[in-house]
């Protein structure tokens, strides 16, 4: 006769099996790690048990296994189930990836000095709490749109965070043209009486010369000037961005009765040192009775009488630039003050 196993022994075996299963499940959990991350951010996940593998239910999550855990990077907004598996046992965690917007700035990137420009910050999504601006000449610091007035190039930066706590930043360079656009050659222009000299302007897209008297044209970059009388000409120019500039061009008319060439250099005169810092010397093989110095605007800035063949002129108080020295009201010599 076959002997039956007592019921209490079967009960004990079943209890042991349940304990083993329960112990195995208990040793695997829970998964620790963030429940939310922003797109492009990475969260670190671990489990109490070792030797398992990590997986995800969505391709929006990139998992890189590491020792003891996993680095999980959000590639796109959405929700995924993160699973850690050992044999037939597994643990799960829910991970939500929030969208991270991209900030951009619109507005003119090149302006004239002192001209107003409007810069606006934008995000590729919605839900921003505020934009925070950094840079010079701003009309506001926490706002969407800025009205700026600057005189030199500035790099602006904008930082923003949305309602999910995801942030982004960007930079924007606003370039400013130099204040002085136009240059003219020669300046000052020295010409013998009733002779002509060509003036050449550069740096702008269009030009207007004034006064018109003595000029061959008033809306060209290179008019010819006739030396009837010393005159201060002016040329106004506008570049392709609408920036305006005006510069003066003194025309000095010499009688040239002593055979002085058009450029104003007399063979019987010496002027040195040139350039000059504090003083220069004018010497010649004839009496120097008067010396006048004229700046590039045609203004008389120095005058002295003499009765010698050599004169020392003090120019320490003159500002740096090009000047014309007129000797005996006849000869003209250019020099530079440094």
3-state SS string for 116-134: EEEEEEEECCCCEEEEEEE
Integer angstrom CA distances of residue 57 from 42, 78, 80, 120, 277: 17, 11, 6, 40, 81
Residue 181 has a pLDDT of 77
Q: Top-level CATH class of 183-254?
A: mainly beta
Residue 294 has a pLDDT of 83
Q: Top-level CATH class of 269-337?
A: mainly beta
Residue 1 has a pLDDT of 47
To the question of domain 103-176 being in CATH 3.20.20.60, the answer is no
Residue 139 has a pLDDT of 93
Closest-CA residue to 144 (of 155, 158, 156, 154)? 158
Token pair 């010397």: residue: 281
Residue 248 has a pLDDT of 86
Rounded to whole angstroms, how far apart are CA atoms 236 and 181? 10
Residue 6 has a pLDDT of 57
Residue 127 has a pLDDT of 61
Q: Where are the domains of the chain?
A: 32-98, 103-176, 183-254, 269-337
Coil vs helix vs strand at 12: helix
Integer angstrom CA distances of residue 207 from 136, 169, 183, 222, 224: 33, 43, 12, 9, 14
pTM comes to: 0.55
DSSP letters for 176-191:
E--S---EEESSSEEE
Residue 315 has a pLDDT of 87
Rounded to whole angstroms, how far apart are CA atoms 117 and 61? 42
Integer angstrom CA distances of residue 330 from 83, 262, 264, 270, 336: 100, 12, 10, 15, 20
Tens digits of pLDDT across the chain (338 residues): 445 555 545 444 444 443 344 434 446 778 999 999 998 899 999 988 888 888 888 877 877 767 678 888 888 889 999 999 888 888 999 999 998 888 999 999 989 888 899 999 998 876 667 899 999 999 999 999 999 999 899 999 999 888 888 889 999 999 998 777 788 888 788 888 888 889 999 988 999 999 999 999 999 999 999 988 888 889 999 888 788 888 888 888 877 654 444 444 444 577 778 788 888 888 877 778 888 888 876 777 888 888 777 888 888 888 887 788 888 777 777 777 88
Rounded to whole angstroms, how far apart are CA atoms 192 and 257? 9
The CATH code for residues 32-98 is 2.60.40.1080
Same fold? 32-98, 103-176: yes
């Amino acid at each position: 006769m076959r002997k039956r196993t007592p019921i209490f022994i079967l009960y004990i075996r079943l209890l042991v099996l349940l304990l083993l299963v329960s112990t195995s499940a208990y040793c695997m959990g829970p998964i620790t790690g963030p429940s939310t991350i922003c797109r492009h951010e990475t969260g670190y996940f671990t489990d109490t048990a070792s030797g398992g593998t990590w997986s995800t239910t969505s391709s929006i999550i990139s998992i890189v296994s590491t020792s003891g855990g996993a680095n999980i990077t959000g590639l796109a907004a959405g929700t995924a189930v993160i699973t850690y598996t050992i044999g037939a046992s597994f643990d799960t965690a829910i991970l939500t990836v929030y969208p991270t917007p991209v900030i951009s700035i619109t507005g003119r990137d090149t302006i004239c000095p002192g001209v107003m420009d409007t810069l606006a910050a934008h995000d590729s999504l919605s839900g921003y709490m505020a934009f925070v601006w950094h840079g010079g000449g701003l009309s506001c610091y926490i706002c969407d749109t800025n009205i700026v007035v600057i005189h030199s190039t500035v790099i602006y930066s904008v930082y923003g965070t949305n309602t999910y706590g995801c942030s982004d930043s960007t930079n924007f360079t606003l370039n400013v043209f130099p204040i002085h656009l136009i240059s003219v050659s020669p300046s000052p222009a020295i010409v013998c009486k009733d002779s002509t000299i060509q003036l050449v302007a550069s740096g702008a897209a269009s030009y207007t010369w004034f006064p018109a008297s003595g000029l061959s044209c008033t809306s060209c970059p290179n008019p010819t000037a006739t030396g009837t009388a010393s005159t201060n000409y002016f040329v106004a120019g506008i570049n392709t961005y609408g920036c305006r500039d005006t510069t003066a061009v003194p025309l000095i008319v010499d009688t040239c009765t002593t055979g002085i060439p058009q450029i104003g250099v007399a063979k019987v005169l010496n002027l040195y040192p040139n350039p000059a810092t504090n003083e220069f010397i004018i010497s010649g093989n004839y009496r120097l009775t008067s010396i006048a110095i004229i700046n590039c605007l045609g203004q008389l800035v120095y005058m002295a009488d003499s009765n010698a063949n050599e004169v020392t002129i003090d120019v320490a108080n003159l500002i740096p630039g090009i000047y014309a020295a007129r000797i005996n009201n006849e000869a003209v010599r250019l020099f530079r003050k440094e």
